[in-house]
Amino acid sequence: MNKMKHTTLMLTAAMALVANTALAHPDHDDVPPEQALKLELARKKDGAMVYLTNDGHKVSTVGATGTLSYTAGGNVTEVVLKPTGVNGMAPVKAATIVPGTKARATVTTAEKTTVSSEFLVK
């Protein structure tokens, strides 16, 4: 009888261990992947430029649309961005970006992928 109790106990323990493996399902509590597309805001003599990259490589902005919103001196200004060069987006009208300016750029690529970034100009 002792051997039977031991076997029953071992089977029960094994079943309990196997039954909980479904809780470790990979579809839950995953960390979302980092956004691959990045925006960079650059100050130029004649205003600002926004550049689109993917893991350090230039991404074509042909067919892309975008906006640049910035706050300087308490005033909020929003300008439309148009594609220029290989991976650049330039404001349609002059955008004066000075140190201390807070800005937000949003670009939608021709493939309909939207990227948005916030900046504090130094």
Domains of the chain, each with CATH number or no CATH? 37-120 (2.60.40)
Residue 59, pLDDT score: 92
pLDDT for residue 110 is more than 90: yes
CA dist 17 and 67 (Å) reads 55
pLDDT for residue 104 is more than 80: yes
pLDDT category of residue 21 using cuts at 50, 70 and 90: low
pLDDT tens digits, one per residue of 83-99: 998 999 999 988 888 88
Residue 12, pLDDT score: 84
CA dist 86 and 74 (Å) reads 33
Decide if 37 contacts 115 (C-beta within 8 A).
yes
